[in-house]
C-alpha cells in the first residue's frame, strides 16, 4: 500500500512546523492544504499545494473552507491527514475522520501550558496526538510526548549585520503598538539604525522608517540574514527563522487585550524562548526601548533543540503500511 498524505495546516508557524516533517512525508505521495502566504508560496515549486482562505472566525469563509476541503479531499482521497493545527485545517480533519481515514494531530510548539482550541477538538478523535510540551499531558492524557518538532543546531551569526529588520508574520490582525513605538523611538533619536519593516495590513502606517506590506519568503530570509537585530512578533515561525540564521531576536508578544490575537499564547512562547537565552522577550511595548539596548550587546545562547516527533510519525505510518500488507 502506497500511502497518500494530506498535510493540512494554517500558515506561519503552523506551516513552518509542518515542513519539519519533510524527512517523513517525502517518502510518500502527499499534498499540502494551507494558506497562500510566505513559505507556502515557495512550496509550490516542489509540492502539490492547495490554498484556502483564513476564516478569521467569519462564518461565510468557514462554510467556504468546509466545501473547499471536501472538494480537495474527494479529489486526492488521502489515506492519512496530518495537521500541525490552525483552524483552516479543522474541516479536513473532520472529513478525513468521517471517511474512515487516519488523523494525526501535532499540537503546535507555541502551546506550552494549555492546548489550543484546535487541539482540544481534534485530539478527541485523532488516531494519534503528539504534544511538544509535557505540561499539556494533564489536558491530553492520551497524547504522546514527542518533544520539539524542530531539530535545530543554533549557532551565533559571526557577521555583525546592519540595521534592524521588523517582522510581524502572516497573522491577519495588525500590531500597531509596535509600529507606533518604533516611530516614537526613531523620532526621539533612541533608534539611529536603519529600519526596514514587514508590516502586513496595519491600521497605523509608520512615518519614520521604511516599510513593506508583504515580502516573498526568500527575500525576507535574506533581509534577516543581513540584519544586526530582528524585531519580530512572538510567532514560532518568525522566531525560528531568526534562530536558524543565528540572529539577535527581540520577540514582541501579541496580546489578547489589544485584539492582536485570540489568546495570549505568544506570551508563553516569548517567555520560554527568553528563559532559554534565545530571544529578548517584550511583553509590554514600553519594554521595547530597553530590549533594543540589550540587543546591541546580546549574546545568543548556542544550543541544540531536538525531539523525536519525526520518529513517532514515521513509525506510525510504517506500521500502517505493514498492517495493510498482512
- pLDDT tens per residue across span 161-197: 899 999 998 777 899 999 999 999 999 999 999 999 9
Q: Residue 323: pLDDT band by 50, 70, 90 thresholds?
A: confident
Q: Are residues 261 and 310 in the same domain?
A: no
pLDDT in the model for residue 1: 57
The total number of structural domains that make up the chain: 2
8 A C-beta contact, residue 47 and residue 205: no
Q: Are residues 297 and 174 in the same domain?
A: yes
Tens of pLDDT, residue by residue over 75-99, are 999 999 999 999 899 999 999 999 9
Q: Are residues 214 and 158 in the same domain?
A: yes
8 A C-beta contact, residue 146 and residue 308: yes
Q: Are residues 176 and 127 in the same domain?
A: no
What's the N-to-C CA distance of the chain in angstroms? 11
- Please tell me the number of Cα atoms within 13 Å of 202 on its side-chain side: 22
Q: Are residues 132 and 214 in the same domain?
A: no
Q: Are residues 257 and 138 in the same domain?
A: no
8 A C-beta contact, residue 47 and residue 23: no
pLDDT in the model for residue 173: 85
Q: What backbone phi and psi angles, to 5 degrees, belong to 87? A: -55, -25
CB atoms within 10 A of CB 159: 10
Q: 144-145 and 80-83 as β-strands: parallel, antiparallel, unpaired?
A: unpaired
* C-alpha grid cell, residue 189: 533619536
Q: Are residues 70 and 24 in the same domain?
A: yes
Q: Give the whole-angstrom CA distance, residue 181 versus residue 237.
A: 23
Q: Are residues 184 and 264 in the same domain?
A: yes
CATH code for the domain in which residue 134 is found: 3.40.50.2000
Does residue 122 have a pLDDT over 60?
A: yes
Q: Are residues 145 and 159 in the same domain?
A: no
* C-alpha grid cell, residue 268: 508563553
Encode burial over 111-123: b for 16+ CB neighbours within 10 A, e otherwise: bbebbbebbebbb
When pLDDT is averaged across residues 12-33 and rounded to a whole number, the result is 95
Domain containing 28 equals 4-149+306-325
Three-state secondary-structure class, residue 88: helix
Any idea what DSSP says for residue 158? S
Q: Give the whole-angstrom CA distance, residue 209 versus residue 178.
A: 13
When pLDDT is averaged across residues 151-155 and rounded to a whole number, the result is 90
8 A C-beta contact, residue 216 and residue 37: no
Q: Are residues 145 and 11 in the same domain?
A: yes
Q: Are residues 230 and 317 in the same domain?
A: no
Q: Are residues 186 and 216 in the same domain?
A: yes
Q: Give the whole-angstrom CA distance, residue 60 versus residue 56.
A: 10
Q: Round the average pLDDT of the chain to a whole number and report it.
A: 93
When pLDDT is averaged across residues 211-221 and rounded to a whole number, the result is 90
| Packing angle, helices 236-244 and 217-226, rounded to 10 | 50
Amino acid at each position: 500500500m502506497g500511502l497518500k498524505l494530506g498535510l493540512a495546516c494554517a500558515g506561519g508557524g503552523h506551516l513552518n512546523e509542518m515542513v519539519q516533517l519533510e524527512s517523513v512525508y517525502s517518502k510518500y505521495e502527499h499534498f499540502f492544504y494551507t494558506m497562500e502566504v510566505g513559505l507556502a508560496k515557495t512550496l509550490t515549486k516542489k509540492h502539490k499545494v492547495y490554498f484556502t482562505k483564513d476564516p478569521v472566525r467569519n462564518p461565510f469563509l468557514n462554510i467556504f473552507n468546509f466545501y473547499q476541503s471536501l472538494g480537495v479531499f474527494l479529489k486526492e482521497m488521502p489515506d492519512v491527514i496530518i495537521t500541525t493545527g490552525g483552524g483552516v485545517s479543522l474541516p479536513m480533519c473532520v472529513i478525513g475522520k468521517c471517511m474512515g481515514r487516519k488523523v494525526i494531530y501535532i499540537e503546535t510548539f507555541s502551546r506550552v501550558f494549555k492546548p489550543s482550541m484546535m487541539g482540544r477538538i481534534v485530539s478527541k478523535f485523532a488516531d494519534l496526538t503528539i504534544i511538544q510540551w509535557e505540561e499539556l499531558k494533564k489536558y491530553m492524557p492520551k497524547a504522546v510526548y514527542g518533544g520539539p518538532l524542530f531539530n535545530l543546531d543554533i549557532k551565533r551569526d559571526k557577521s555583525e549585520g546592519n540595521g534592524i529588520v521588523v517582522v510581524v508574520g502572516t497573522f491577519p490582525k495588525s500590531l500597531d503598538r509596535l509600529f507606533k513605538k518604533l516611530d516614537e523611538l526613531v523620532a526621539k533619536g533612541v533608534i539611529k539604525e536603519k529600519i526596514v519593516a514587514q508590516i502586513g495590513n496595519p491600521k497605523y502606517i509608520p512615518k519614520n522608517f521604511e516599510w513593506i506590506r508583504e515580502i516573498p519568503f526568500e527575500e525576507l530570509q535574506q533581509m534577516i540574514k543581513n540584519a544586526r537585530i530582528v524585531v519580530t512578533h512572538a510567532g514560532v515561525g518568525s522566531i525560528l527563522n531568526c534562530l536558524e540564521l543565528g540572529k539577535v531576536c527581540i520577540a514582541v508578544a501579541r496580546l489578547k487585550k489589544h485584539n492582536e490575537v485570540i489568546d495570549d499564547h505568544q506570551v508563553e512562547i516569548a517567555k520560554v524562548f527568553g528563559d532559554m537565552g534565545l530571544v529578548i522577550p517584550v511583553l509590554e511595548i514600553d519594554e521595547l526601548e530597553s530590549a533594543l539596548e540589550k540587543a546591541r550587546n546580546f549574546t545568543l545562547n548556542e544550543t541544540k533543540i531536538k525531539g523525536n516527533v519525526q520518529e513517532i510519525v514515521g513509525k506510525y505510518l510504517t506500521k500502517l503500511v505493514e498492517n495493510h500488507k498482512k
